Amino acid sequence: MRKVQSYLLGRWQEGQGEGVAVRDAATGEVLGYVSAEGLPLEEAVAWGREVGGRALLALGFPERGRRLRALAQYLSERKEELYRLYATTGGTRRDAWYDVDGGIGVLFAYSSLARNLPEGNLLPEEENLLLAKDASFQGRHLLGPKGGITLQINAFNFPVWGLLEKFAPAFLAGVPTLAKAATPTAHVAEALVRLMLESGLLPEGSLQFVAGSLGKALDALDHRDSVYFTGSKATADRLRRHPAFLEGGALFNGETDSLNAALLGLEAGAEELERLAEEIAQELTIKTGQRCTAIRRVFAPEERLSPLLEAVRARLEALRLGDPREEGVDLGPLASREQKEEVEAAVAALLEAGARVHWRHPGRDDGAFFPPTLLLAEDPGKPALHQVEAFGPVATFFPYRTPQEALRLVRLGGGMLVATVATPDPEEARFWLQGLAGEVGRLHVLNRRNAHASTGHGSPLPRLLHGGPGRAGGGEELGGMLAVRRHLARLALQADPLTLQALTGEYAKGAEKPAALHPFRKYFEDLEVGETLRTHRRTLTEADIALFAHLSWDHFYAHTDEIAARQSLFGRRVAHGYFVLSAAAGLFVDPAPGPVLANYGLEGLRFTEPVGAGDTLEVQLTVRRKRPRDEKTGVVEWAAEVRNQEGKTVASYTLLTLVARRG
């Protein structure tokens, strides 16, 4: 019988010894064995830092984003291989869709983020801070490479999505990954990693993989490294005490199973009740309830608890349990018999604490099968009911009398990844938002207005935070750029403007370089950050203001009523702000056809001084930063500063243009 292999130091390897058996969840057949005994895990940490780190940083943000997109496309074309394997984990095709296609979707999402990132590996934050009156000394916060690796410790329930949702932000940040698979589904994770490596898109050392225990890998970590863990709270608490975190300074990011809640609001109507019932039934069905975000506790007003229970039961009782490879099967087994034993023990503990079985699906319960079960806790205040999680198709229902009582009960869970509140009333939603802000990582408001479009209670999205406080682990996964930034080191850089501009790739005041040729005559590659055009001047007249009012239909009194304007804060008639913008464009635009293709947008506009007839304007236009958009075009950001005859800035903004690339 073959062993699930690990990929370390640039080659596939097998661990020593017999290992732990991986079994088909539905049939119990042994599929292979997992062992990491004797594998060079400490060496893999150092090799990832040196080889993988160097290779990734040679690419820069945009290229790494392009490779993520290409990898997503590559996996999309070959995902049927993963679908075939998925049935051995107990998952239906719908379950596989959530895991496989969901993971590929994360790659696409993070690849799109790279379009707005600069070349290179430094990510400037905020704006430059002037530390001297003459601007010769400035400071800025930056995010840069840590020089370490990220060690993934993945859970059994999502062998594809779990790996990819951690890998994508790390790869985009330029951080190598060492991924550890959970034993029951390690064979699926191995197949995924083989496909990723076969794509040829990943630089050497950027992804390593271990099936089996970590051995001494944690001992090799230091302040440059991070561990991203998904799993049980008990394991997370044990890992946090490792010297790598307490003494070595490595980052520990925990995402642990939590007692997520769903609440039917007092203002919820019949449609909200039905939609929430559908949501609860779905959470008990997808992955057979084996999701860290699944609904574990349900709270409803006393008089509406029974209708909600019956609505959930009605959606579950028609489900067919069986081998997911059989036609017509809706629900497969748990991932292993060991998982079933844990769920049985948790249900027994909940019954001991005072819950009772309200309904249990009559389907099969042999092997690793566990039928969907609805528990009812009529005395909801017992703390033990809010401390035990059955990691399967089990939910406990609680009545409440007032929102304050419900809030107290929900808080007994000690922190959640996600909670759903079903209400159409914004004020009721405000109560829950304020009350649960410190208890939950994501709050999902469900009502008649959004139910048709909602992505659901249990589906983390790449652009939104996945994590939660307290029992949920206290970590942050996903979240778009939040996740990318978490992999980088934040530092304050202090320097002269020329050095600051050269290092950040963004314009620093005082580092201007006069343009020898009008910058609109230059291709994207030829433009330099800091390149500056000083325009000729234009004196505004009464006729300019009157004509612009006529053209724009903007007859605001400050522009057209002499008496009212004198009595205003301006003390005279002033030009329209948008006329100042238009006049500025007339000063800096080169009208002939050239590499500048279009105005792409305008950001951060401020009018800082009034402008009237007799004032003279000029513009300073500076290349602020640039980023490639595709093979043919790039986006150039220009710092535009409009000044009057006294040298005062009357308007400032960032202009974005689409500029052609050479060739």
Catalytic positions are: 255, 292
DSSP secondary structure, 8-54, as one string = ETTEEE--BSS-EEEE-TTT--EEEEE--BT--HHHHHHHIIIIIHH
Cα separation values, 99 from 103, 165, 283, 321, 655, Å: 6, 10, 14, 20, 42
CB burial of residue 592 (10 Å; 0-12, 13-18, 19+):
exposed
Alpha-carbon span 54 to 149, nearest angstrom: 11
Alpha-carbon span 183 to 413, nearest angstrom: 29
DSSP secondary structure, 473-534, as one string = -S--EE-THHHHHHTSEEEEEEE-HHHHHHHHSS--TT--EE-SS-GGGS-GGG--TTEEEE
Alpha-carbon span 635 to 248, nearest angstrom: 42
Alpha-carbon span 538 to 544, nearest angstrom: 11
**HEC profile for 237-248?**
HHHHCCHHHHCC
Alpha-carbon span 4 to 19, nearest angstrom: 10
Q: Classify residue 452 by its DSSP letter.
A: T
Q: Answer whether 469's CB lies under 8 Å from 436's CB.
A: no
Q: Classify residue 100 by its DSSP letter.
A: I
Alpha-carbon span 602 to 428, nearest angstrom: 38
Cα separation values, 239 from 159, 234, 242, 252, 641, Å: 21, 9, 5, 9, 54
**Cross-strand partners of 30:** 23
Alpha-carbon span 149 to 600, nearest angstrom: 38
Strand order in the sheet with 226-231: 11-13, 6-8, 207-211, 177-181, 150-153, 226-231, 251-256
CA nearest 62: which of 119, 10, 108, 110?
119
